[in-house]
Chains A and B, each alone.
Chain A
Amino acid sequence: MNQSMKRFMQILLPLAFLVAPLRADNAECLEAALDEMNDFYRTGAGCEDGIFNAISASMLGWGVGLFAGIALLTGLIHNAHQDSTTSNNSSK
């Protein structure tokens, strides 16, 4: 049993020494390929961000304007309602 185990290890160890650097090389190649792929898919992100910012910031300005308009309208309606209530009370 010990002899066969020893023989197995004698074969396995040199093989492991040979394969390990290959695996490391493959991992490096894979990482490089992944980096290249990421670079490719990220290309154009600056242009996309420019478009996104242009639309979102302009809409933010529009939202602020809309909010101010609603606030003004609410104030006017409130005032008009108060005026009509006062005039009704005074006529009584």
Chain B
Amino acid sequence: MLCTLFAAFCLFQPPDGWELSNPKTPSQHSICGFLDTSRSGFCPSLHLTYEKTSCSIEKYLEVVSNTAKSKRQKWRRMGTVKTQSGLAHLAEIEVCHSLGKVCLLQAILPADGEVHILTAGALKRDLAKCAPIFHKAFQSMRVIEDLIPLSRNPDELYSSWQKREEDPESYSKAVMKENALGAVYQIQLMRFK
């Protein structure tokens, strides 16, 4: 179905109560982001991005590390984290900020010529509180080749996806019904409207 157009889709489970962030300058690599707005000051966040790459994961990590170092960011590998679609490489980036030191954790999951990156950010002093939440989100990452078979009503969703150009409203309504699989699933469906 959708896999004929796109290689893979990454899904993850954002923490309960976190709000969907609406980036002012969305990039072509950005998929979605979530913020914990219950905290004051620098809000902990989770952002999903992806990138097509022809190089190996080791080469990719080397390039990312060199880029971070050239920007005077502290970058270090933290090993791997087990996701639902295999091992993701974990990296820690430390950035100096006016509100204090910001710690960013990136779970980099390679899949068929693409890398799916889940970036978790929090102030370094809040990291101990946020680490279990971030870890749970990283573990929930999964890469799938097709979105529609996951739906409870795949036939209905597929037929509305086929007619999405003539009737975008009914496709939006069909996507809104798919709330059982979470916001990330709905966003991935909407991206290919």
Question: Which chain A residues have a beta carbon within 8 Å of chain B's beta carbons?
Answer: 39-40, 43-62, 65
Contacts and interface: CB of A to CB of B under 8 A. Distances in A.
Interface stretch (B76-84, B94-102, B153-161, B175-183): B94-102
Contacts of B27: 45, 49, 52-53
B51 A46 contact: yes
What size tier do the contact residues of chain B reach? 35 or more
B49 A46 contact: yes
Interface string B31-61: 0010101001111110111110111000010
A61 B27 CA distance: 19
Contacts of B129: none
Given A57-B47, A59-B42, A62-B41, A44 B60 contact: yes
A53 B37 contact: no
B41 A65 contact: yes
B64 A44 contact: yes
Nearest to B39: A61
Contact of B45 (A47, A58, A65): A58
Contact of A54 (B73, B91, B99, B121): B121
A40 B104 CA distance: 24
Residue in B37, B49, B102 whose Cβ sees the most chain A Cβ within 10 Å = B49
Contact of A58 (B43, B54, B93, B115): B43
B49 A50 contact: yes
Contacts of A65: 40-41
B64 A53 contact: no
A61 B35 contact: yes
B121 A58 contact: yes
Contacts of B121: 51, 54-55, 58
6 contacts: A39-B53, A50-B30, A51-B119, A54-B33, A55-B95, A58-B102
B153 to A, nearest CB: 32
A2 to B, nearest CB: 57
B63 interface: yes
